[in-house]
Amino acid sequence: MASGNKIWLYDTTLRDGAQREGISLSLEDKVKIARQLDRLGIPFIEGGWPGANPTDVQFFWKLQSEPLQQAQLVAFCSTRRPGIEAKNDRMLKAILAANTLWVTIFGKSWDLHVTEGLNTTLEENLAMIEDTINYLRDQGRRVIYDAEHWFDGYKNNADYALNTLKTAQKAGAEWIVLCDTNGGTLPQEISDIVRAVVKELKTDSGSAKLGIHTHNDGGTAVANALAGVLDGVKMIQGTINGYGERCGNANLCTVIPNLQLKMGYKCLDEEGLGQLTETSRLVSEIVNLAPDDHAPFVGRSAFAHKGGIHVSAVAKNPLTYEHINPERIGNQRRIVISDQSGLSNVLAKAKSFGIDLNKNDRACQEILERLKALESEGYQFEAAEASFELLMRSALGQRRQMFDLKGFHVHCDMLKTESNAIATIKLRVGDEDLLEVAEGNGPVAALDHALRKALVKFYPEIAHFHLTDYKVRILDSGAATSAKTRVLLESSDSKQRWTTVGVSPNILEASYQAVVEGIEYGLLLNSCPLEKPMGSIPIMQGIPDPTVIKITVS
């Protein structure tokens, strides 16, 4: 166990992570992510390539006037171009203008890239590395050298690849980072090559400070990073949630807890480690990608227990089915409710909701029976825990009703270029009758907008709720257009996410059920007073007689 050994974390979410297909970061997005990484305790945050695009230029300007609290902001750039001195390269002038103490420079390690990519000689490539680092050092900058395509380069021409590192080290680079840019190297290869580098770069003052930068094209980015640490690497470069080009980069949300909780290395203080799950989900929210519920350590399902035997064992001792305490990294244990559940699942789930329930209570058995009956009809509470909590509170007489729906009407115009919908909804809140109309880009959106428009004056918190996911599944495809439909709807208030479910042969009715419960549960989370007790009622109470649900398509 390498207790007390410091591993330096280098986050490149804002540059390498942003190269993932589907991610586009605004200036505000980049600033928010950088601030959160700073709070987390990441020592090095790579902000981008100044001069490559206007957003990166503005980002470095912004953080010059409003600097980070503890992290070193790092500018990223390539070595100078062939045939031009570093002091005359305009690209490097933009780097200096970013005014960061630390600069990361990447250079070519693979002779194939030198001769065919840069179209220059091996000697000139070495001169580019040396001249660039010397110039930046003369300007008062501290340099991290990223050896691009290092492992492929070493396997193809070890002597030349090592020579590039020695050149960077001699020029004054303080960190030399070995990059598996194509992401195809395996852990045992990483170990062998890192050991060779440590041996070759020995100096009178000890081993050179090495880092590692791995991509996930072979599915081994995290394993490769950990292997590098075991053989002498002291810096790991990666991204939050493993975002990155192609298959992504080493996922720091997996690397950090493995290093700190399993291998005895020091990455973050305990407070920072406890923010890891929050950081993962915040970044996914900012980049507008759904969080991976099954991600190791930080996923919502990472500590979820479904089978009755598992739940019973975890209730006695969490070590029986959990490899770490989830609270250490800011996550939490979840008991999953489904038709495979037993009383232990119901009791554990009630406890997580803050509900005091005894297995000998008649209500406990009623909840279990109701759960199994509804799931046989097509409801899925495994994926809709918010609806299950409302079901449980209904059975216990703890649920309160926000409003009574009198009916709604949806009109759709099916145009060639777009689908417009108008929803009219009639409901009663307390003693007040309401009639509201709203538009949307589809019938469900229009219905959701109308409902929120009617309720927001009574419950202002609704203005902060938004739909983040909408899934529809046909449950009995053999019934064709008469098939029963299940709708799973995920809502968020930008801090928490919750999922509700609706089932009906009418997709709008199923959607309405999920929308209503999503709003109701959001208000429950925000501790808003609801209107009147519902008592013990079936789930999804409040849907009117189908004759008043009218859909017109023209």
The predicted-structure confidence for 35-45, as pLDDT tens digits, reads as follows 999 999 999 99
Q: State pLDDT tens for residues 448-474.
A: 889 989 999 898 999 989 888 888 878
In the chain, the amino acid numbered 209 is: K
Q: What is the DSSP string of 478-530?
A: GGGGG--EEEEEEEE-SS-EEEEEEEESSHHHHHHHHHHHHHHHHHHHTTPPP
In which band, very low, low, confident or very high, does the pLDDT at 206 lie, cut at 50, 70 and 90? low
Write phi, then psi, for 360 (nearest 5 degrees). Answer: -85, -10
Q: Tell me the β-bridge partners of 405.
A: 427
For 151-177, give one letter per residue: b (16+ CB within 10 A) or e.
Answer: bbbbeebeebbbbbbebbbebbbebbb
Given this model, what pLDDT does residue 338 score? 63
pLDDT of residue 343: 73
Q: So what CATH class is 400-553?
A: alpha beta
Higher pLDDT, 227 or 400: 227
Higher pLDDT, 274 or 202: 274
The mean of the pLDDT values for the chain is 86
For residue 497, what pLDDT is reported? 84
Range name among 127-131, 268-272, 407-411, 459-463 with the lowest pLDDT average: 407-411
Token match 């007689």: residue?
545
CA–CA gap between residue 490 and residue 499 (Å, rounded): 4
Find all residues with CB under 8 Å of 328, minimum gap 6, and list them.
257, 261, 273, 274
Report which listed range, 113-117, 288-292, 519-523, is most confident: 113-117
Nearest Cα residue to 181 out of 265, 93, 110? 110
- In contact, 122 and 157? CB cutoff 8 Å: no
- pLDDT recorded at residue 532: 38
* Distance between CA atoms of residues 301 and 341, nearest Å: 16
Whether 144 contacts 175, CB under 8 Å: yes
C-alpha distance from residue 485 to each of 386, 498, 508 (Å): 19, 20, 9
Among the residue ranges 66-80, 439-453, 468-482, the one predicted with the least confidence is 468-482
Tokens at 213, concatenated: 């930068």
Given a cut of 70, whether residue 393 has pLDDT beyond it is yes
Element housing 244 (H / E)? none
Distance CA 293, CA 290 (A): 9
Q: Which CATH number fits domain 5-268: 3.55.40.20, 3.40.50.2300, 3.30.465.10, 3.20.20.70?
A: 3.20.20.70
Kindly calculate the radius of gyration of the chain based on its CA atoms and give it in whole angstroms: 28
CA gap 243, 247 in Å, rounded = 8
| E strand intervals along 149-297 | 175-180, 210-214, 235-238, 265-266
Q: Write down the pTM of the prediction.
A: 0.70
Q: How far is it, in rounded angstroms, from Cα 213 to Cα 228?
A: 10
156 within 8 A of 189, measured Cβ to Cβ: no
| pLDDT of res. 488 | 85
Q: Which DSSP string do the residues of 78-127 spell out, in sequence order?
A: EPPPTTS-GGG-HHHHHHHHTT-SEEEEEEE--HHIIIIIS-S-HHHHHH
**3-state secondary structure (DSSP) of residue 415:** coil
Specify the pLDDT at position 131: 98
Which residues of the chain are in CATH 3.30.160.270 domains?
A: 400-553
pLDDT band at 352 (very low <50, low <70, confident <90, very high): confident
Q: Say if residue 553's pLDDT is above 50.
A: no
> What stretch(es) of the chain map to CATH 3.20.20.70?
5-268
- Which of the four pLDDT bands, split at 50, 70 and 90, describes residue 70? very high
Q: What is the pLDDT averaged over residues 218-240?
A: 97
Decide if pLDDT at 332 tops 60: yes
pLDDT for the residue numbered 301: 87
Compute φ and ψ for 472, nearest 5 degrees.
Answer: -125, 135
pLDDT tens-digit map of 108-162: 999 999 999 999 999 999 999 999 999 999 999 999 999 999 999 999 999 999 9
* Arithmetic mean of pLDDT, 242-270: 97
234 with 221: CB under 8 angstroms? no
